Amino acid sequence: MPISDHPLSPTRAAFALPFAAVLALAACKAPPPPAPPPPPTPIVVAPVVHCEPPRDSQDMAARHLLATQDRLGTLSPSDLTVEANRAIDPGSVEAAMDQALALGMTRTPGDLARAQVILDGVLRNNAPQADPYRSLARLLAFRLSEQHRAEEAADRLASQLRDQQRDSQRRLDQLNDKLEALKAIERNLNTRPGQKGMP
């Protein structure tokens, strides 16, 4: 068998060597990186829908009155007086309720009576726009009448206390006058001449 036909002959080895080197390098090459993980499945959050219940006219009237009270509560006394005394549309029940509420908060003499007159007008009003405000007008009228009674009771008590204080001061002055009279008598007795020899 000739040398060139030998399975490991130099000619074949010369041709096989580059293939072997390529195969060896291919075997040393780093393995390909693993495939990236699949993206996470997106979490779908259903939006929360807040549905307000339908509002009726009484609910709207109550919300308006509460918002007005909050607004009036932040005003200074002078601004509150201006708000209570501003001219309103005589046909607007809402404006009348706002004014009655402002008059009830001023603490000015006579304003509670004016507020009661306005509320009585709302209660007697037969117009459809007054319907949602009637129960609120009754409630506010009751609150204002109770406030009026409490203020009258406080005024009576203050008057009684002033009267008692005047009476106490008058009695104290009378007692001081009597004490001064007794001191004067005592001084007169001590200063009389010729009293030493008498038994």
Among 46-55, 72-81, 148-157, 180-189, the minimum mean pLDDT is found in 46-55
d(CA 175, CA 177): 5
Q: Span 119-140, mean pLDDT?
A: 91
What is the percent of the chain where pLDDT is above 90?
42
Distance CA 110, CA 57 (A): 32
Query: How confident is the model over 65-70, as a mean pLDDT?
Result: 92
Nearest to 64 by CA among 117, 133, 161: 133
Average pLDDT of the segment spanning 67-73: 92
The answer, yes or no, to whether residue 98 has pLDDT greater than 50, is yes
Question: Do residues 64 and 94 touch, judged by C-beta distance below 8 A?
Answer: yes
Q: Which residue has the tokens 């308006």?
A: 64
165, 157 contact by CB (below 8 A): no
Structure token pair of residue 81: 């007086």
Question: Does pTM top 0.75 for this prediction?
Answer: no
- What tokens appear for 26 in the block? 């291919």
Cβ atoms of 119 and 100 closer than 8 Å:
yes
pLDDT score recorded for residue 25:
61
Higher pLDDT, 16 or 109: 109
- As a whole number of angstroms, the distance between CA 180 and CA 124 comes to 68
